[in-house]
Each structure stands twice: as structure tokens, then as C-alpha cells.
Chain A
Amino acid sequence: MQPNIQWLDTPAVFRVGQLPAHSDHRYYATLAEMAQQQSSFEQSLNGTWQFHYSVNAASRPKSFYELAFDAQDFEPITVPQHIELAGYEQLHYINTMYPWEGHYYRRPAFSTSDDKQHLGMFSEADYNPVGSYLHHFDLTPALRNQRVIIRFEGVEQAMYVWLNGQFIGYAEDSFTPSEFDLTPYLKETDNCLAVEVHKRSSAAFIEDQDFFRFFGIFRDVKLLAKPRTHLEDLWVIPEYDVVQQTGQVKLRLQFSGDENRVHLRIRDQHQIILTADLTSAAQVNGLYKMPELVQAWSNQTPNLYTFELEVVDQAGETIEISQQPFGFRKIEIKDKVMLLNGKRLVINGVNRHEWHPETGRTITAEDEAWDIACMQRNHINAVRTSHYPDRLSFYNGCDQAGIYMMAETNLESHGSWQKMGAVEPSWNVPGSYDEWEAATLDRARTNFETFKNHVSILFWSLGNESYAGSVLEKMNAYYKQQDPTRLVHYEGVFRAPEYKATISDVESRMYATPAEIKAYLDNAPQKPFILCEYMHDMGNSLGGMQSYIDLLSQYDMYQGGFIWDFIDQALLVTDPVTGQRELRYGGDFDDRPSDYEFSGDGLVFATRDEKPAMQEVRYYYGEHK
């Protein structure tokens, strides 16, 4: 297969040669590795790579992936990192406007009468920067003679991948893992990985989130070996009987490779409570009743159980041990009220972007741990992953800490339907365009398949501020069909009420006033109400929170909300005049048009110091724990 530069322009092409999304479980070679959470099947490729920046596709080094290519003028770059923060490309913050506003006249593919007008929109633009990355690596001994895949956890916004001169694949969707099988072309030593990242593609129309507009390989890159028998995917579906406090688990497993024996163990916090033996057939289904009463999972009691699946060969040698934490909890709507484990759910939530003031959306496990601890000490019990899937490790952290998650799909097309505040959806995408359906649904599929085992996820969210049409309706149907154990959330249908019956299990609004919420609840409401964004904490703000908290006692169907948002997005820069390090925001990089300080809306400053308003959050969120 040959790569085609026009894939950048074509919404229907978004994954080529990419492996299907699957559960994010970790697996190990031995019990000892599992105890250390260090898998010898994994090899990090983070570090120093070679890099070349081009302002557009035409001027990129087209043959850089070839083994004979002379990369003398390539420069070292740290991976992961945004290319802007490496100094090659202009920093730019903008909210709802598309980042090319005033620079290019663009309409989404197939939204005009000319069904060819999109060809060349990105691939031939005179400004659409390209990052060409090269990386040479040897396989660690544990990965040799195995099937090996590569996982990019996050690459913005479109990439082509080659290994040892051979084309491997193409991927869009900046915030979900992209995996490719490297096995056919892999050598033990001196492999040459080539990755060509394009700043914008047709995906830009549905990745119009309110944030700094970056590109590049910004999350971890890893090699993952698959031993000769490998658990490709598992879905643990715990079922909790709230009255009896009993539980059972449905299990769906998918193995690849040789068929071998599998020892299944379920542990509670203390010991093994159940064992079973299976074989690693391609598809395995099981149902296991917990032998004793189960401890339910909730914010106050984040009780986790663990599945272990140990594959052993004929000689009794361990081939692979997979591990998956899970919990028993039941989220449902009864009499138009959301119940968690039989009790009314109250969301004391916050929206969270991934952010660090020096590295942007490239963050670390330490940053995540700080964020979760901060939520816990301030009685924040829920997080909406605004507006894209987060790093894999964050979901584990929320499982362990008892933070309820609204797991949002990587979708926002704000600039396609709202201009200067006015609703004007004449060319809204994905809307009801067939040509945009596959790419959009794929984002839902990847989100679901990757994170389906996380007990903390109570809601799948279709995305943010994308208006509504038949494509979102299908997304809603997809999530509901795949996963009857969770609720589906979407706010944008508020703007397109004709879809209300078929999109979203909850009535969700953003920034509604207390009076508007009352008006909804007093007039034959059909769905429980939440605020997916409220209390816009920009600068010195968060006044009047009491009026929202009071609604919790007045209406059972008012079930709380997610404050906007967790952390200011601003960048530490040395001021050339004073020599001081200080936080900079949109417009401070000659970036135009911009929305300036509008990204400073956090409960914590970009430096992760709590804003003074946090004591108010702690107080009010402490009232309805």
C-alpha cells in the first residue's frame, strides 16, 4: 500500500493499517513483573529523536523514510513534546474560531455543492506545517522474536508511519492510541522509524477544542511485544445487585496466537476469591458469580477487585499474565433520577484539560496524581475529560481514587455552528453528512473499546459543542448498543431539540442560570438534569455558587455539574524585559486571531497552585458528599 497525501483532505480516510482499538489492560511476563507494574513486554521509545520542520507538505523531505536518506540537516528533538514548544512553530491559542480564521477560507468536505473542493485544502496549503521525525532503535532482548506493535498514545493531528523504509500506516484522532503492527519489517537492531506529522487535516474540523493549538508527538511512544499467546482484548462486565449486595461478572476475552491454558483468578483487596481454568480460544465468554457479598465501588468507597489471567504453556511455563482492576457499581435512571448503587447520584464535578505550564498537554503521572489528590482534598468527586480522551493512566487513577468519570469522545466542531455567539449551523460537521460519519463513529468506538473496563466511567460523552445531527445520533446509538451498563451524555443537542429523544440520557446544559434550571425542572422535565459546564472560573470568579448548590436540595432531578475548569492553560515564558518567568496566554506570541486570556479558567493556576476560590468549592462540594 502506498501513502497518499490527499488523505489529509479526505474525512473518510482516518485510519490506514491501524490495529483495532482494544482494552487498555496491562500484561506482564511474570508475577514479579506484575507486582512491580513493570512489563518486560514494553519498550519505551520516548527520548531524543531526529526532526525536521517544514512549513507545508510541498516543502517537506518526501523521501525521509527511505533508508538511503541523508538526514544530516535533521535536528534533535525530545519525544514526546509539542513541536511549538520545541521552538519550531508558532504558539497559538484560540477558542471557538477555527485556527485558520482570516487566513484561509475553508468549508468542510462535502458541505458545499462541489464535492471535490476539499482536495488539496490541507495537503496543498502553503501553510500547514509538517514535522518529519526519525528514530533509530534496537529491540530490547525481551522483545526479540516476538510479534511487536507500536503504540502512539497521542499524535496531533495526522501522521504517516514507516519502518525501515516500508509504509506502515496512517492515523488521525489526536487523543486516542494509534497502534500498528511492526512485525513484518522489524529487525533486532538499528530499526529506522519514520513519522510524518501534519499540523492540520480534515480532522481539524472536528478537533476545534478551546485550547492551545499544537501539533506533534505529544504523548508516549511504546513498543509492545505480544507473546505467542496474547490477550488482545478483554471486557469485564461486573453486575451488581444493589439489594442483595451480590455480584457477578461477565467476561469477554479475545486471544491471539497459540491456544494454551489460562488460569483465571479474581482477587478482592485481600485475597483470591475465585479461580477458574479456560483455554485461550479466539473468543471466550464467561460468567462468574462472586462467592460472597461484594463491596460496591463509589467515590466514598472505591473498592476494586482484580482479574488476573495467566496464560501457561504445556510445560506449565507462564507466557503472559494480564491484569485488570474492576469494581461493582450500578448506574441507572429510575423515576427520572440517576442512581448510583441505588442512591441518588450527586455530581460535584470539574472539567479537566491535560495541562502543564512548561510542556502543555504533555503531562506526567506525577501531574495526574497531583490533580487527583487535589480533587480528593476538595471534595470534587467527578471529572469530565474535556474534550478528548486523556492519557491511559488517568483512568486507572480515577478508578483507584473513586473519581466518577464522564469519558468524552475526541469531538468538537464549535466553529462550524457558532460564530460570535450566534448559532449558525449552515455547515455544521459532522452534522448529518455521510462522508463524516465513519471518522466520527470511529472516535466513539476507540473511546469505548479502549476504556470500557474502567469502573470510574459512569458516562460516555459524545463530545463537546458539536451541535447535532444524524451522525451524533448514531454515536449515541453505538454507545448504548455496546454498553448498556453506562449512561450517554451530550449537551449540544440542547441546540437541536429535534434530536432530544435520540441523543443523551440526561438533560445537560452549560452555564445555565439557576433560574433557567428551575424553569426546566418545573415544566414536566423528561430527563434528569446536569450541568456539564458551570461556574466559569476565569480569573477572580466562582461567586454565587450557593444558588446552584441550593438546587440540589430542592430538586432530586437536579444532579449537580462540572465546574469549568480544573487548571488554567497558560505557558511559563521568560519575560525579556524583566527576566522574570511568567505565565503567558493567547496573543502573547503574535498569534492572531486569538481569544487571549480566555483559557485562564481553572480552579488551580497553571502552576498547580490552588486559586483562592478553591475553599469555596471545598465547602459547597463537602455539603453533598
Chain B
Amino acid sequence: MANTNKRLAVIFGDVTLGLKGPDFHYLFSYQTGGPESLRIQGKEWLYRSPKPTFWRATTDNDRGNQFPLKSGMWLAADQFIACQSITVAIDGQTIPLPIAPENNRYSGQETAQEVTATYTYQTITTPQTTVEVSYTIQASGKIRVAVTYHGQAGLPSLPVFGLRFVMPTPATRFIYQGLSGETYPDRMAGGMAGEYEVTGLPVTPYLVPQDCGVHMATDWVTIYRQAVLDNRLREPVETGLKFKAVDQPFAFSCLPYTAEELENATHHSELPAPHRTVLSLLGAVRGVGGIDSWGSDVEAAYQIDATQDHHLEFEISF
């Protein structure tokens, strides 16, 4: 039986909201526009605050059918996004945003059963639209994440939709339950369901670096890291962070690079030395297409309609 007596320690800081349990300490920032720290069993899991992601490094077929010319504004939206507003709810009750002087009312002994921090982002597209990302943290340290994209008439087709985590050091491996190999919505019939381990952070060696490494129909993925940036930790041990689908399976890619880093290289040797882990959890993925590489678009069923809402929900645990 779950321990319902366990409660989260809540630290109503001036810039961040601290949430603490025996094995974890999280910081949800009002300044960076998202969670700033997920420290679990002594290991930091965030390099920068996760942000919604919209871009994938242009594939050869994307280039051929002029997709980037039509949807290029999503590249800018992926790279630059503003957090428009933040709300905090304690045990289901939204409270006035607990920044100074509002937070003067709290003590150093605050606790809660469950805390939700919701960030609303506004895209720099024309027209603009919004994405909400809410993090609900339980006393166990589990985080439920819901990402909602609001469709907007006039926006061009999306390359991807999801939430991108950048972790401080490269993963040693990841294990997932889903389909074998690299799969896309229009190329997943050959994927066999199972549990798979991938060591390192392989980038598929397409001649020109491009989007790669997507795994469709995933139930969960656990990322394992050993190295840390924390100078105190001389001999860090490998630990894992699990991302589990809620209701619907998700897609993900786990690479050492952002879409923008991949986008800018014409050869693999031009990619930066791998320093970090870029985990993209995806609620919608554009197909790769295959009819030809000089004009035919991805089949209609595998394009992402930006005028419709999209949703992604998953749970983070350790």
C-alpha cells in the first residue's frame, strides 16, 4: 500500500519552487521558465530547463519537397521560445504565484501531497500559438508531465511536437520498450515490439547529418548516465531515469545533439564533440516519406496538422 502519509517538502523560494523528498530535490524556476534542476540520488538530470520542441533536422526528403521553406518558422520557434506565464497548484488548489512578497507568508516547514507547476509558452511563429507544460510532482518524487499544443489556423505543418530534455552529460545507454530499430509513423511496420537496449548515443550515419533515432510506439524509456558535472562527485555511479507513457505510447529520440546542431552539419565530423544527452519525448512525428527525394510530400496521414491540438503525457520516475 502506498504511503499516503509521505509528504513533499516545499520550499517557497523567491526565484524557484523547491520540492524535496528523501532521494530527490527538484527546482522549478520562475526565471528560466521551467524545471531547473532534477537532482535524484545525488545526480543532476537537467542542463537547462526542458522546452517544447517543434523542429527536426531536415531530412533529405524534407529538403527535396521544400518542407523547410514552408515550415521553417518552426525552426526559430524551436530555438527561441518565451515562457508567458506560470501557475502553481498545491494539492490541486491553484495558489497565487508564490514569489516575493507573496511567499513571505510561508515558513521553512511547508509540505504538500502533490504540487503542480504549469508553464505556458508562446511561440514566435506567425500567427503565434501556445503550449502548456504541466509538471505534477508527487511525494514519491514521481513527476507526471502533460504537454498540450494548441492548434492555430494559419500555421504550417509541424516537423515534430514534444518536449526536449537536455541532460548535463552523455548517457551511457538507454533501454526502452517499444519497436526495434529507428522507426517513423510511415516506417514502423517492420519494427518488432520488445525491450531494447541501445549503448552510447548513436547518431545514424546518414551521409548528411539529419533527423534520426526516432522510436515510435514506446511504452517507456530509461536513460542511464554515469558522468556528472558536479566536481564533488569523484566516482559517480550509473543511475537511470525512467520516462513512462501515460494512456498513449509516445515516440522519443535520445541523441547527443539538438535538431539545430544536426541541422548545421554537412558531415558527421563537423558535429560537436558529444557533451550532453538530448532526449526528445514526442507526441507527434512527421513521417519521413519515400516516394522520391525531389518533391513528393510525406503521405497526408503522416503530416502533422498545426491547426489541430496535440497532446503528450508521460511520467518521470527513478
Contacts and interface: CB of A to CB of B under 8 A. Distances in A.
Interface of A: 421, 511, 513, 534-547, 568, 570, 575, 577-578, 580, 582-585, 588, 597-598, 600-601, 605-607, 609, 611-613, 615-620
B190 A600 contact: no
Nearest to B289: A543
B189 A539 contact: no
Contacts of A612: 181-183, 204, 212
A540 B190 contact: no
A615 B288 contact: no
B290 A536 contact: yes
A580 B205 CA distance: 14
B269 A541 contact: no
Contact of A575 (B182, B212, B267, B298): B267
A534 B212 CA distance: 22
Given A585-B207, A615-B190, A541 B60 contact: yes
A575 B269 contact: yes
B180 interface: yes
B299 A541 contact: no
Contact of A544 (B60, B183, B291): B291
B291 A568 contact: no
A618 B190 CA distance: 7
A542 B290 contact: yes
Contacts of B191: 615
B32 interface: no
A607 to B, nearest CB: 8
B6 interface: no
Given A577-B269, A616-B190, A542 B205 contact: no
Given A541-B59, A544-B290, A613-B187, A570 B207 contact: yes
Contact of A600 (B206, B268, B288, B290): B206
Contact of A543 (B192, B204, B269, B288): B288
Interface residues of B, number: 40
Nearest to A547: B299
B296 to A, nearest CB: 7
B296 A513 contact: yes
B292 interface: yes
Interface in B230-274: 267-269
A513 B291 contact: yes
A511 B204 contact: no
Nearest to A513: B291
Contact of B269 (A537, A540, A544, A582): A582
B293 interface: yes
B50 interface: no
Given A539-B61, A542-B187, A620-B190, 16 more contacts: A540-B212, A541-B293, A543-B61, A543-B287, A544-B290, A546-B186, A547-B299, A575-B269, A580-B268, A583-B267, A585-B208, A600-B60, A605-B205, A609-B205, A611-B204, A620-B189
26 contacts: A421-B294, A511-B292, A511-B296, A536-B291, A536-B293, A538-B60, A539-B207, A539-B210, A540-B211, A541-B293, A543-B186, A543-B302, A544-B299, A546-B189, A577-B269, A583-B267, A584-B267, A597-B207, A598-B293, A600-B60, A600-B208, A609-B205, A611-B206, A613-B182, A619-B189, A620-B189
A540 B204 contact: yes
B161 interface: no
A541 B204 contact: no
B102 to A, nearest CB: 49
A601 B290 contact: no
Contacts of B208: 539, 585, 597, 600
B288 A541 contact: yes
Main secondary structure of the interface of A (DSSP, over half): loop
B291 A511 contact: yes
A577 B273 CA distance: 13
Contacts of B302: 543-544
A544 B205 CA distance: 22
Contact of B189 (A536, A600, A616): A616
A535 B290 contact: yes
Contacts of B207: 539, 568, 570, 583, 585, 597, 600, 606
B174 interface: no
B189 A597 contact: no
Contacts of A539: 59-61, 206-208, 210, 293
Given A600-B208, A616-B187, A544 B287 contact: yes
Contacts of B269: 575, 577-578, 580, 582
A568 B207 CA distance: 8
Contacts of B59: 539-541
Given A582-B269, A619-B190, A544 B204 contact: no
A421 B59 CA distance: 21
A455 B139 CA distance: 72
Contacts of B268: 580, 582
A541 B192 CA distance: 19
Contacts of A609: 205
B288 A540 contact: yes
Interface string B188-200: 1111100000000
Q: Which of A535, A544, A580, A597 counts the most chain B CB atoms within 10 A?
A: A544
Contacts of A588: 267
Nearest to A619: B190
Contacts of B211: 540
Nearest to A575: B269
B184 interface: yes
B8 to A, nearest CB: 42
A597 B290 contact: no
Contacts of A511: 291-292, 296
A374 to B, nearest CB: 15
A353 to B, nearest CB: 15
Nearest to A601: B293
Contacts of B189: 545-546, 616, 619-620
B203 to A, nearest CB: 11
B151 to A, nearest CB: 24
Nearest to B273: A578
Contacts of A577: 269
Q: Which of B186, B190, B212, B302 counts the most chain A CB atoms within 10 A?
A: B190
Nearest to A549: B189
Interface in B25-66: 59-61, 64
Given A511-B291, A539-B206, A597-B207, A544 B186 contact: yes
Contacts of B290: 535-537, 541-545
Nearest to B212: A540
Contacts of A513: 291, 296
A540 B206 contact: yes
Q: Which of A534, A616, A617 counts the most chain B CB atoms within 10 A?
A: A616
A349 to B, nearest CB: 15
B141 to A, nearest CB: 35
Q: Which of B191, B210, B269, B288 counts the most chain A CB atoms within 10 A?
A: B269
Nearest to B59: A540
Contacts of A607: 205
Contacts of A582: 267-269
Nearest to B57: A540
Given A538-B293, A600-B206, A600-B208, A615 B181 contact: yes
